[in-house]
Structure 1
């Protein structure tokens, strides 16, 4: 799926290693697992769908979501990251919009949920700008925000 110069493609033998080589900024390392761990997790939890994020045909990010409803009766975003050299260009927002379109096609998709550390201001800004709402749900150290899907 594509929007302007951003597209997401399912992880495959041609892009998985590039996703593993991506880096986040030092300040973000406490908020997110490495892409290699996320990719390994997707091989054992088969309901997880990993994608490479492309910008102008170059792999610049990674995202993953669950295809099975979980807590709060919604589909959860597990990971989204953009390489530190490509942050601040709107790529993460465009990729998240594409992911939301894909997730809204899942059976009985009424809610998309993402959990993140409340100190992660970049994540908060991104999800708030896309219409995710904080209803006060907390899971350990993470807050969960919800986007209601209107079909």
Structure 2
């Protein structure tokens, strides 16, 4: 379990768990709002398959208290950077600060790895909600792209990112 003691706006503690035999079905059923389906898969199940079949990504269940409310994954690139990806917060849980708490938690956990010097992620340029969230956490768009997505990066110094200095929801 990965936790920073962060809470969503309802006061629920948000933690990340490895996807396992007990929670994988709940993670697979996580679905975004209908208008977000052009940015993320209809269900988080696609991300789970990427993690399990390709061996590059590591899927995490996003939980508010003991309830699975989302999915996020991470991976390490050949250049040594760590990537955050595949975040889907269930449509019924959006707007409650769960996504921000989940990203901040994963950022800090990855930043504490001895070899971590940079965090990266990508998002569709039309996804204004994702862009605002990531910029507010210190990520800055780079000149790189991943397919049709913007790549944003955040430097990590001394095992800490800017995430803990960002305001909580």
Distance 1:70 1:19 in 2: 28
CA RMSD of aligned residues (A): 1.5
What residue number does 1:8 align with?
16
Distance 1:48 1:35 in 2: 13
Contact 1:70 1:76 in 2 (8 A): no
What secondary structure, in the 3-state scheme, does the structure 2 residue paired with 1:138 have? strand
What residue number does 1:122 align with?
129
Contact 2:77 2:83 in 1 (8 A): yes
Contact 2:142 2:150 in 1 (8 A): no
* Count of matched residue positions in the alignment of Structure 1 and Structure 2: 149
Distance 2:113 2:49 in 1: 23
Q: What's the offset of the Cα at 1:92?
A: 0.3
What residue number does 1:52 align with?
61
The answer to which structure has the higher strand fraction is 1
Q: What's the offset of the Cα at 1:107?
A: 4.5
Counterparts of 1:14-53 in structure 2, within 5 Å, are: 14-33=22-41, 34-53=43-62
Counterparts of 1:65-104 in structure 2, within 5 Å, are: 65-66=74-75, 68-70=76-78, 73-104=80-111
Distance 1:61 1:82 in 2: 4
- Deviates most, 30-39 or 12-21: 30-39
Deviating above 3 A after TM superposition, structure 1's stretches of 4 or more consecutive aligned residues are: none
Structure 1: unaligned runs, 5 residues or longer: none
Structure 2 length as normaliser, TM-score? 0.82
Distance 2:73 2:145 in 1: 21
Distance 1:96 1:12 in 2: 20
